[in-house]
Structure 1
Amino acid sequence: MSSPEATGRMALWAVELNDFDIQYRPRTAIKGQVVAVFIAEFTQMDAQGVEEIPHWNIYTDGSSNKQAGGAGVVLISPEEDRIECMIRLEFPTINYKAEYEALIVRLDLARTTRIENMIIHCDSQIITSQVNGSYECKNERMKKYLDKVKGRIGSLQIKFVQIPREKNECANRLAKVASAERIVVPN
């Protein structure tokens, strides 16, 4: 309080309110998380009347070693049916190329099976961020892969989500098996 007049008014109010056991507490700042939660809850209430379009969940991962690479793709239908694919890349590659190859394979699988609405889960932050546009792709080789992916997306309704490696174990396992030196198939 900088002015004596305002201080005097506050003292009078304090005397008046003292009879009612009312205490003054200064207002604290509203935290950003509280605002975010409020917006999320308010938005969900508006969307309750909207029917959700069934979508496929697609998980992918890539793996590489000196001899070859591998891609693992897991497709889960809206009815929870699972399709697991492993693709061996018969050329030496590095991990991000294997990740992009897995992404291209799953988009080809989606187009072949006429899947139009999907959520693609990938544990590679760089791949999902480049496809979503939040990271700029500076490497020329990666730009070629990114262009292939964007060309295959076309009119499909796709949401790319980056997930922790632990939630991508099945696709990771398929990719590692596909890139192994020898694959032993039981009789």
Structure 2
Amino acid sequence: MHNRPILSRRIGRWSFALTEFTLTYYPQKSVKGQAIADFLPDHLSLDEFIGEHVGFQVCGVEVRPWELQFDGSSTETAAGAGIVITSPRGVKTALSFNLGFPCTNNQAEYEALVIGLEILKDLGTKELLISGDTQLVLKHLSGEFKCTSLSLAPYYTAASQLLDDFEEVSLIHVPRQENWEANELA
């Protein structure tokens, strides 16, 4: 950028902003990973390497979906939502939210789920594994139970609409002991 005689607009602003740093450019010697990327489309079909399990392997590398653990809690004085998001690389992000309105435990559970789904949607997630310790919410979303509660219907609708934005979603009920991180955050 510094070698160009006239810099305008965005490139000029970036060039000016980067002048305070000493930058050295080293070209990449070889692209070994590109060989695998070029090989796969020509030699494998999608059905050959996607299994029935949540995680699958491509050339010995396990591909995992994003994971969302959620939990909500409500008492007479406060309500909270806790979520733990785990990236495909295993990086965990724990978030805790204070719900500033009175609600039931099931509403708090739905709030936690909706908040987590909105975050993952904004991140561009396609495959998702959702785990929680509330059977009611998970069975509503899987279609096993009908949502007949008027107080939960808006939450159910919001969560269902958000789930439609993902390509593949797995819902898993886990015991409270296995959902302790999200439970503590809530």
Give SS of 1:140's match.
coil
- Name structure 1 gaps, 5 residues minimum: 1-47, 176-187
Look up the match of 2:68: 58
Aligned counterpart in structure 2 of residue 100 of structure 1, from 105, 110, 116: 110
**Normalised by the size of structure 1, how large is the TM-score?**
0.65
Q: Which amino acid aligns with 1:137?
A: C
In the TM superposition, residue 70 of structure 1 has moved relative to its aligned partner by: 0.4
Q: Displacement of 1:140 after TM fit?
A: 1.2
C-alpha separation in 2, matches of 1:80 and 1:146: 29
Aligned twin of 1:76: 86
Equivalence for 1:20: none
Higher helix fraction (1 or 2) = 1
Q: For 1:141, what is the secondary structure of its paired residue? A: coil
Distance 1:74 1:127 in 2: 17
How far did residue 163 of structure 1 move?
A: 0.7
How many Å apart are 1:136 and its aligned residue?
1.1
Q: Which runs of 4+ in 1 moved over 3 A?
A: none
The alignment's TM-score, normalised by the length of structure 2, stands at 0.66
Larger radius of gyration: 1
- Quote the residue 1:129 is aligned against: 139
For structure 2, the 5+ residue unaligned runs are: 1-46, 51-55, 57-62
1:159 corresponds in structure 2 to 170
1:82 Cα offset (Å) = 0.5
> Residues of 2 paired with 1:101 and 1:162: CA distance?
17
Does residue 126 of structure 2 align to residue 116 of structure 1? yes
- Alpha-carbon contact 1:57-1:77 (below 8 Å) kept: yes
CA offset at residue 113 of structure 1?
1.2
Do 1:66 and 1:93's aligned partners in 2 also have CA atoms closer than 8 Å?
A: no
Counterpart pick for 2:149 among 107, 115, 139: 139
Give RMSD over aligned pairs: 1.4
CA–CA separation in structure 2 for the residues paired with 1:172 and 1:121: 12
Alpha-carbon distance between aligned partners in 1 of 2:98 and 2:125, rounded to the nearest angstrom:
23
Matched residue count? 128
> What CA deviation, in whole Å up to 9, does each residue of 1:48-100 have, x standing for no partner?
94242530111010001112210000011111101000011011111000000
CA change 1:108–1:155 in 2 (3 A) is closer
Q: Deviations over 1:20-64 (max 9, x none)?
A: xxxxxxxxxxxxxxxxxxxxxxxxxxxx94242530111010001
Amino acid at match of 2:172: V
State the structure with bigger RCO (CA 8 A, min sep 6), 1 or 2.
1
Superposed displacement of residue 160, structure 1? 1.1
> Secondary structure in 2 aligned to 1:88?
strand
8 Å Cα contact 2:71/2:133 also seen in 1: yes
C-alpha contact (below 8 Å) 2:121/2:165 kept by paired residues: no
Paired with 2:118 and 2:144, the residues of 1 have a C-alpha distance of 24
